[in-house]
Amino acid sequence: MSNDTPEELRLDNQLCFPLYAASRLITRLYKDRLEPLGITYPQYVVMMILWEDAPCAVKDVGRRAILNTNTLTPLLKRLEEQGYIRRQRDGSDERVVKIHLTDAGLALRDRCACVPWELLQSCDVPMDKVDELKALLDELLPVLKNSLDD
Amino acid sequence: MSNDTPEELRLDNQLCFPLYAASRLITRLYKDRLEPLGITYPQYVVMMILWEDAPCAVKDVGRRAILNTNTLTPLLKRLEEQGYIRRQRDGSDERVVKIHLTDAGLALRDRCACVPWELLQSCDVPMDKVDELKALLDELLPVLKNSLDD
DNA sequence: GCAAATAATATCGTGCACGATATAAGCTTG
DNA sequence: CAAGCTTATATCGTGCACGATATTATTTGC
């Protein structure tokens, strides 16, 4: 019996599926290393942004992480409960909530320093492939952002 | 004031972040085209598997989609409510739930046929880059699966 | 045959992700 | 300076994702 599914609807021919699957698998890999620190992968992304830019408005965190406040507000509240950040209204513009790093939040950076390296070690994927993949994704990302603005 | 964040913790140096971001952006792109059909992107992935393999045990859908029953069971129930599939215990092994396509489920395939092509058109990303990216991801995926089994 | 191990689904709890809507502060323009 | 527009954040509802655990059916070893 032949299968009439057209080629373009076969799972193995999709670009999006391996992207979607790889993203989830990597999040699982991170979990083992981030769970002892009490944070999730999306929280880790937000912390990376804050380690570079804090103090930083919620809006600016969202712009870099490509996340809206409906995702960020509860996530930031959880980070605040953990004691890693402080949320504080900006005096000069009361609409803005600025995110500040606490001492624990800054200290967390040192405890995370080995995570990216350890992760690369754990799955032996060749370094040149990683670089190639990253270059392609960095090219794709702005294109995707643009087509969502239309 | 200098920023002491080590290079490997900078967001722009991560491989995983653009993967995570691109995956989410693409899901948003799909949303516009799948919403009129009443399904989400993960449901679309499951339907692609069923168009190839139905009738098919939940376990086998999960193996291909890389999803466990805690995600699949509710997702499949929603597809059943929409009338696209039928869930039915296997007579020869009562543990197994086989997923069957309904007529509407099969008809949905034709209505989805243009989706992958339309999506590629909507964001003008060059075809050779897409192929390159897909090849790299198909190489990465098995490696990731392996390192999660350890 | 029957207890223990294994296998296939299901359920539960927590945390994203996101469209839609609400709220409140600031800005603008007549 | 007031009505209306814009901006920043928050809230709500739905649907993944997934670790942990429960449930029921089959298989395995004695």
Q: What is the pLDDT of residues A57-100, one digit of tens each?
A: 999 999 999 999 999 999 999 999 999 999 999 989 999 999 99
Distance CA B125, CA B121 (A): 8
Distance between CA B147 and CA B85 in Å, rounded? 34
Percentage, residues of chain B above pLDDT 90: 80
Coil, strand or helix: which one is B86? strand
Within 7 Å of a protein beta carbon, the nucleotides of strand D are: 7-13, 15-20, 24-27
Band of residue A1 on the pLDDT scale cut at 50, 70, 90: very low
Q: Which residues, in sequence order, are CB contacts of B48 under 8 Å at separation 6+?
A: A5, A9, A10, A11, A14, A17
Give the CA A68 to C1' D7 distance in Å: 14
The burial of A126, by beta-carbon neighbours within 10 Å (0-12 exposed, 13-18 middle, 19 or more buried), is given as exposed
Most confident of A41-45, A91-95, A119-123: A41-45
User: Gap from A134 CA to D23 C1', in Å?
Assistant: 45
Mean per-residue pLDDT over chain B, rounded: 93
Nucleic strand C within 7 A of Cβ B65: no
Task: Give the pLDDT mean for A101-119.
Answer: 95
Model pLDDT, residue B6? 85
Whether B2 shows a pLDDT value over 60: the answer reads no
Residue B46 above 50 pLDDT?
yes
Contact B137 A19 (CB under 8 A): yes
Shortest CA distance to A23 belongs to which of B12, B16, B28? Answer: B16
In the complex, which nucleotide's C1' lies nearest to the CA atom of residue B73?
Answer: C10
Q: Give the model's confidence band at A5: pLDDT under 50 very low, under 70 low, under 90 confident, else very high.
A: confident
Out of A5, A22, A139, the one facing B141 most closely (by C-beta) is A22
User: In angstroms, rounded to a whole number, what is the distance separating the alpha carbons of residues B145 and A41?
Assistant: 18
Which structural domains are found in chain A, ordered by start? 15-112 (1.10.10.10), 114-150 (no CATH)
Assess contact for B136 and A133: CB atoms under 8 A.
Answer: yes
pLDDT at A125: 85
Inter-CA distances, B112 with A7, A14, B30, B35, B41, Å: 12, 13, 11, 11, 12
Runs of H (alpha helix) within chain B: 16-34, 41-53, 58-65, 69-81, 103-112, 115-122, 127-149
Which one-letter amino acid corresponds to residue A27? Answer: T
Name the nucleotide nearest A39; use CA and C1'.
C15
Contacts of B78 (CB under 8 A, 6+ apart): B43
Structure-token match 């092509």, residue found: B117
**Residues A116, B11: C-beta atoms closer than 8 Å:** no
Q: Is there contact between B69 and strand C, defined as CB under 7 Å from any strand atom? A: yes
Taking only the tens place, the pLDDT of each residue in B12-25 is 889 999 999 999 99
What pLDDT does residue B1 have?
Answer: 44
**Listed residue (B87, B88, B80, B73) closest to B104, CA to CA:** B80
Task: Compare CB distances from B6 to A30, A113, A139 and report the shortest one's residue.
Answer: A113
Q: What is the mean pLDDT of chain A?
A: 93
CB pairs under 8 A between A and B: 175
Comparing alpha-carbon positions, the chain B residue that sits nearest to A30 is B16
Element (H, E) at A90: none
User: B103 near B83, Cβ under 8 Å?
Assistant: no
Q: Are B126 and A130 in contact (CB under 8 A)?
A: no
pLDDT of B147 over the 90 cut: no
Q: Which segment of A53-62, A114-123, B42-51, B70-79 scores lowest on mean pLDDT?
A: A114-123
